[in-house]
C-alpha cells in the first residue's frame, strides 16, 4: 500500500485561515467539480471552498433559519449532500444550482432521517455510490477500538451490523495507548482504503486502513502546532490531502481561527 502518511510532509503544507463562521469547522467533503464542502458543528450552513486557494466560493443552508444540531460530518454522492449529527441522524439535500457562482446563503430544501447509533459519531465519508461510512468516537456499548457504520443510500437506513469493528489486537505494533486514540474525520482512498484523522493523546494522527480493512499504520503528524484540533479530512483527485482544524487556543492562550491545510504530495 502506498502510505498516505509517507507521501506528505510539512514542507508541502499550505494553511488558510477561515472566516469566523467556520471557526468551529467540522467536516469536509469533495464534490464532483472539485470543490471542498465544509460546515461548522452547530448550524446547517454548507460552505464551498476552493482548495487551491483556500477561498470561500459561496454557501447554502438547510432552511432559511438554518437547522441547528451537533453536526459532525459531511459527504457527497453525485448531487446528493449529506450531513450527519453526533447521534447518527442524517440530513440530505442536493447540491444547488446557483444563479451566481459566488452566491451565499442560498436556501435549500432537505430531508431528515431521524435515526441513531450506539456511539458518538465523529465523521462521515462516501464509500461508494451505495454507501456512506460513519466513524464512531465514543461507544455506548462494546470494547471496540474503532467502529464504523454504513448507511445504505438507497434504503435510507443503517446496515444492521457495523461495516468495520476493530479490537485491540488490530492495532498491535501501531499504538501503545489505545485509550488515547480518538477519530475525528474519515475519507476513502481511490483504492478503497480508509484514512482517518484524529488524535493520539495530544498529537494529531492519521490512521490508515487498507482495502482489506486491516490497519496499516497509525502515524502522528509531525507539526502539532499546525493541527491543534483536526476535525475533517478529504483527498482531492490530484491527491492533495486537505485537513480541517477547528480554532483553538495557541501557546499564548489566544483563540485562533479555523483553518484548512492543504498538503501536496512529495
Averaged pLDDT, 228-235: 93
**Which residues lie closer than 8 Å to 205 by C-beta, 6 or more apart?**
181, 197, 198, 199, 218, 219, 220, 221
Report residue 39: phi and psi, to 5°: -150, 165
Q: Which domains, and CATH codes, for the chain?
A: 4-263 (2.120.10.30)
pLDDT in tens, 189-214: 999 999 999 998 888 999 999 999 99
Residue 1, pLDDT score = 44
Residue 132, pLDDT score = 98
Question: Confidence band (pLDDT; 50, 70, 90) for 80?
Answer: very high
Helix H segments across the chain?
A: none
Amino acid at each position: 500500500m502506498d502510505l498516505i502518511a509517507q507521501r506528505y510532509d510539512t514542507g508541502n503544507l499550505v494553511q488558510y485561515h477561515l472566516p469566523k463562521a467556520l471557526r468551529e469547522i467540522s467536516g469536509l467533503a469533495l464534490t464532483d467539480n472539485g470543490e471542498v464542502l465544509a460546515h461548522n458543528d452547530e448550524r446547517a450552513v454548507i460552505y464551498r471552498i476552493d482548495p487551491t486557494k483556500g477561498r470561500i466560493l459561496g454557501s447554502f443552508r438547510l432552511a432559511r433559519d438554518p437547522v441547528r444540531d451537533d453536526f459532525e460530518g459531511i459527504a457527497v454522492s453525485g448531487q446528493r449532500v449529506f450531513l450527519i449529527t453526533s447521534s447518527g441522524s442524517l440530513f440530505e439535500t442536493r447540491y444547488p444550482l446557483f444563479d451566481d457562482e459566488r452566491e451565499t446563503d442560498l436556501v435549500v430544501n432537505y430531508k431528515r432521517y431521524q435515526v441513531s447509533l450506539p456511539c458518538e459519531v465523529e465523521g462521515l465519508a462516501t464509500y461508494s455510490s451505495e454507501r456512506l461510512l460513519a466513524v464512531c468516537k465514543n461507544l455506548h456499548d462494546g470494547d471496540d477500538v474503532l467502529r464504523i457504520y454504513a448507511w445504505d443510500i438507497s434504503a435510507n437506513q443503517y446496515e444492521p451490523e457495523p461495516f468495520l469493528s476493530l479490537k485491540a489486537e488490530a492495532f498491535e505494533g501501531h499504538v501503545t495507548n489505545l485509550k488515547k486514540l480518538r477519530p475525528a474525520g474519515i475519507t476513502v482512498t481511490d483504492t478503497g482504503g480508509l484514512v482517518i484523522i484524529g488524535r493520539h493523546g495530544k498529537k494529531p494522527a492519521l490512521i490508515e486502513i487498507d482495502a482489506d480493512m486491516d490497519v496499516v499504520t497509525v502515524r502522528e503528524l509531525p507539526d502539532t502546532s499546525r493541527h491543534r484540533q483536526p476535525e475533517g479530512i478529504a483527498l482531492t483527485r490530484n491527491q492533495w490531502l486537505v485537513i480541517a482544524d477547528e480554532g483553538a487556543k495557541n501557546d499564548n492562550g489566544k483563540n485562533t481561527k479555523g483553518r484548512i491545510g492543504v498538503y501536496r504530495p512529495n
